[in-house]
Structure 1
């Protein structure tokens, strides 16, 4: 019997799909937990603004709780938009009733600056924070909770300490990708890459949802927090340029990056099989002294290559080492100098390659832009969009 940990998002709906329960469900699926929903509010929302908020009737929120918890038994839940004080109080009562471990994301302000609540719920949120495993305010929400302005990273740290002293475990999302957490008295600086982008819609939801997922998977709170930070950072780094405002982050990016690496590994394995099976092609392009290599770069800037490379040994081809990801070698460095997903082979720059360039079969340059072969000292990297195109180019160069 196949099963998964069950979690719940207690949140509002984002009609634009980038934040709210939609972002939560995407995150849950990406991390391998089964997500259920208890919808607390509806928003008319896109990447630019929130035009209207509709609170779900309390009896219907409670009915959702009962339907989900009596049958699917979520162990962990996270909150998003809780539009009023009465909704917060109801959520706390039902969390206690079903003994659900809670990650509290005190959603009050959207990235666009629009309010996501119909009234001041800060006092009820503070009560909820005391019962949560951890709360995850952004700095604007931390300002509301602490009633003080946050203008610097030092202010973020002060706010985290103040919140922890009053309400328990907390992580305050700070400046330039640096968050500050306090868990059971331990202070933790969570550093992520600073990413200059406007496409951050839903980043807070993804962060709290990923903490929830990792907890449900059995990770301790500190480990869950560190893993969630890494996951959320990648979703921002590869955020989607959709809409006219703050584009959404992409919870699928961390998973697709793994898929793309495996696709690249498969392409390289098939290329190596071809080279071993067609020595009449590859042996014409290498010599006895040069070690060549093959590589595949994904859209996520991962470069797979042989740990050692390819060596001509008498009239055979010797493959040195397994295919590894992001090895610090020459072919990895050159591949990263050009954009886009590609496959390549690094060869010695011989008269045969020069002859192919003079005949227009390959276009040589130093950047790889608008060309298919990059010169580096006495080596040349022939690149293509896939294995079949690269094989075609190698045949044309080898045959002459």
Structure 2
């Protein structure tokens, strides 16, 4: 029987982030991926040039269609552009009792906004309390808390614990935006640090879709029955491999994608 995970996110026409990255990561980790499209972006490695939000009734219909038929064990939630979409997803997931990985997507790698300013409060109040694990990068965590961006490990831990107080069961504070040659991701829950995941910083501009890839990989692990620390460990190792092989892809002229299928074929 297949392990099934669902991604609820925006579409990236360039294929490096969004639902395209999510489905690639899930497939690479041996999980069947289903998808609910919340927005269509005209996007490549250099810019997001247009965003079209999907009508709320169509988003609800997609969620209903998938959950009424497929045995979904974990859901990754990514780009939710507006307060209306956030409320729609919150309502449509009312009876879902599985794991939820919430990636609070706000800014594309190109610097373009993917979340309306007035949607941050909706995300904070409606979906953060539903999250099995919240996976913000440092600027996203700061925005959710209305605080300065964390500059140290202690500040990362403090902000992670503060986000747990908003209702998330666990928070994975991602350190990729930090300084130094060691990138550190910190998993906190229950008022304490559960695990730290460290890796040597890889110097490449081809990191488009890393946040999407990590969160969907965590959802894939949870759908297979891994514990949260185990799922994060598997996802972390997978992403590091995908980044390590990113330059070989040579896709686009801006921030290229990571190599989701590095274990299966070489560019």
TM-score higher than 0.5 here? Answer: yes
- Following superposition, the deviation at residue 151 of structure 1 comes to 5.2
Query: Deviation per CA, 1:155-205, whole angstroms, max 9, x where unpaired?
Result: 323322221233331011112521122033341221122101110000001
User: Which of residues 71, 74, 85 in structure 2 aligns to 1:73?
Assistant: 71
Match of 2:131 in 1: 132
SS of corresponding position for 2:95? helix
Match of 1:360 in 2: none
SS of corresponding position for 2:49? strand
Which structure 2 residues correspond to residues 303-318 of structure 1 after superposition, within 5 A? none
User: Which of residues 9, 21, 26 in structure 2 aligns to 1:11?
Assistant: 9
SS of corresponding position for 1:71? coil
Comparing 27-36 with 118-127, which one deviates more in the overlay? Answer: 118-127
CA distance in 1 between partners of 2:66 and 2:149 (Å): 39
On the 8 A contact 1:53/1:118 being kept in 2, the answer is no
Which structure 2 residues correspond to residues 179-194 of structure 1 after superposition, within 5 A? 179-187=185-193, 188-194=195-201
Say if 2:127 is the partner of 1:144. Answer: no
On the 8 A contact 2:128/2:166 being kept in 1, the answer is no
SS of corresponding position for 1:98? coil
Higher relative contact order (CA 8 A, sep 6+): 2
Match of 2:159 in 1: 159
Which ranges of 4 or more aligned residues in structure 1 deviate by more than 3 Å?
Answer: none
Match of 1:397 in 2: none
CA distance in 2 between partners of 1:237 and 1:220 (Å): 26
Match of 1:170 in 2: 171
CA distance in 2 between partners of 1:55 and 1:45 (Å): 14
SS of corresponding position for 1:102? strand
State which structure, 1 or 2, has the greater radius of gyration over its C-alpha atoms.
1
Match of 1:63 in 2: 61
Say if 2:17 is the partner of 1:24. Answer: no
User: Which of residues 243, 246, 257 in structure 2 aligns to 1:248?
Assistant: 257
Query: Deviation per CA, 1:56-84, whole angstroms, max 9, x where unpaired?
Result: 00000011111111111312110110011
CA distance in 1 between partners of 2:150 and 2:224 (Å): 36
Give the structure-2-normalised TM-score.
Answer: 0.90
- Following superposition, the deviation at residue 119 of structure 1 comes to 4.3
Comparing 72-81 with 14-23, which one deviates more in the overlay? Answer: 72-81
CA distance in 2 between partners of 1:167 and 1:232 (Å): 27
Which structure 2 residues correspond to residues 1-400 of structure 1 after superposition, within 5 A? 3-127=1-125, 128-150=127-149, 152-154=151-153, 155-168=155-168, 169-174=170-175, 175=178, 176-187=182-193, 188-239=195-246, 240-253=249-262, 255-256=263-264
On the 8 A contact 1:53/1:117 being kept in 2, the answer is no
- Following superposition, the deviation at residue 209 of structure 1 comes to 0.5
Total equivalences in the alignment:
256
Match of 1:284 in 2: none
Query: Deviation per CA, 1:286-344, whole angstroms, max 9, x where unpaired?
Result: xxxxxxxxxxxxx9xxxxxxxxxxxxxxxxxxxxxxxxxxxxxxxxxxxxxxxxxxxxx
SS of corresponding position for 1:120? helix
- How large is the RMSD of aligned CA atoms in angstroms? 1.7
